[in-house]
Amino acid sequence: MGSAIAANLVRAGHTVRVWNRSAEAGRELERLGAKLAGAPAETARAEVLFSMLADDDATRSVLLGGGVLDAASRGLIHANLATVSVAFARELAQLEGARGIDYVAAPVFGRPEAAQAAKLNVVTAGDAAAIARLKPLFAAFAERVWPISGAAERANVVKLAGNFMIASALETMGEAAALVQAHGIGAGEFLEVLTSTLFAAPVYQNYGRLIAAKRYEPAGFKLALGLKDVRLVLEAGGDVHVPLPFASVLRDHFLEALAAGRADQDWAALAAIAAAHGPPQPRDP
């Protein structure tokens, strides 16, 4: 994901210095014209720093542990594209603000293919002037930018709430498919009706196909990461005393999926858990 974004920035003519845990991804970007940073801190001597790390811990260890913030150029804008927790986004914004860095939360919606095709949707929050300056850069990899007013971490709330909506759609289709199949109706036959009409949206159409075909590998987005995000959603709810009963069901089913050895499958495999709770399924017609 990060590589696809960096490649698009290079292609758009920007000077890009990259650092990646895996050296190979770096070399490929170098071939495209990017410069390689020998250490994370070198990436902060720039006008803008984009980061896209796996989770809170990875972000913390690279940015804080790797001395990135201490090396920052005066007036650096840091756009964090990753899905991190709301609490950590708030903490980072404060830490960076204290050092004169403009922290912009800029989590993205879209699969790796969308990143390559420059069709991501970026949700942003933070300093308005900084976001304005980022606009031409976002244009290199995003279809559209969705600014949210207020503190930076609000963009993370939106991203997490969106991922919750996707996971809920997966569970919904999984339960509905289990129901119709137990009545002898093919999941594909059923989902075709709904995803051509009231639910004619990318999430339902794309995942509906995977669920109907029970095709959970290779993973576009791993189930274990889905659980991570649902945990962040529950945490974001817990922080402000908002119960989220659907998210609680999702957490339980993601855990069951992990217990069943499905961690590396696509998170659409949530549907396999709904099916496993019912009777042995008749074959699709």
Site for a copy of itself in 110-129 (CB under 8 A): 121, 123
Site for a copy of itself contains 48 (CB under 8 A) = no
Parallel, antiparallel, or unpaired: how do β-strands 142-147 and 48-51 relate?
unpaired
Please pick, from the candidates 1, 95, 182, 225, the single residue that binds a copy of itself as defined by CB under 8 A: 182
- From the candidates 119, 159, 222, 228, give the one annotated as an active-site residue: 159
- Two tokens at 198? 């009231």
Please pick, from the candidates 30, 201, 215, 217, the single residue that binds a copy of itself as defined by CB under 8 A: 201
Judged by beta carbon, residue 35 or residue 251, the one nearer a copy of itself is 251
Judged by beta carbon, residue 41 or residue 108, the one nearer a copy of itself is 108
Q: Is 29 exposed, middle or buried (0-12, 13-18, 19+ CB in 10 A)?
A: buried
Judged by beta carbon, residue 37 or residue 234, the one nearer a copy of itself is 234
Which residues inside 86-105 make contact with a copy of itself, applying CB under 8 A? 86
- Of the candidate spans 45-53, 91-99, 126-134, 256-264, the one that interacts with a copy of itself by CB under 8 A turns out to be 256-264
Q: Where are the beta strands (DSSP E) in 81-153?
A: 102-105, 108-109, 120-126, 142-147
At closest approach, how far in Å is the CB of 132 from a copy of itself? Answer: 18
Parallel, antiparallel, or unpaired: how do β-strands 77-80 and 108-109 relate?
unpaired
Query: Residue 237 phi/psi, 5° resolution?
Result: -70, -45
DSSP string, 155-192: HHHHHHHHHHHHHHHHHHHHHHHHHHHHTT--HHHHHH
Site for a copy of itself contains 262 (CB under 8 A) = no
Site for a copy of itself contains 204 (CB under 8 A) = yes
- Residues touching a copy of itself: how many (CB under 8 A)? 74
Q: Which residues pair with 103 in a beta bridge?
A: 78
At closest approach, how far in Å is the CB of 178 from a copy of itself? Answer: 5
Find how far residue 85's CA is from the centre of its chain: 12
Which residues inside 230-249 make contact with a copy of itself, applying CB under 8 A? 231, 233-234, 236-238, 240-249
Note if 135 is an active site residue.
no
- Of the candidate spans 17-25, 55-63, 77-85, 177-185, the one that interacts with a copy of itself by CB under 8 A turns out to be 177-185
Q: Is 79 helix (H, G, I), strand (E, B) or coil?
A: strand
- Two tokens at 46? 């720039």
At closest approach, how far in Å is the CB of 22 from a copy of itself? Answer: 28
Site for a copy of itself contains 40 (CB under 8 A) = no
Q: Is 152 helix (H, G, I), strand (E, B) or coil?
A: coil
- Of the candidate spans 1-9, 27-35, 69-77, 164-172, the one that interacts with a copy of itself by CB under 8 A turns out to be 164-172
Judged by beta carbon, residue 63 or residue 228, the one nearer a copy of itself is 228
Q: Where are the beta strands (DSSP E) in the chain?
A: 17-18, 35-36, 48-51, 77-80, 102-105, 108-109, 120-126, 142-147
CA–CA gap between residue 211 and residue 180 (Å, rounded): 13
Which residues inside 122-161 make contact with a copy of itself, applying CB under 8 A? 123, 144, 146, 148-151, 153-154, 157-158, 160-161
Catalytic positions: 159
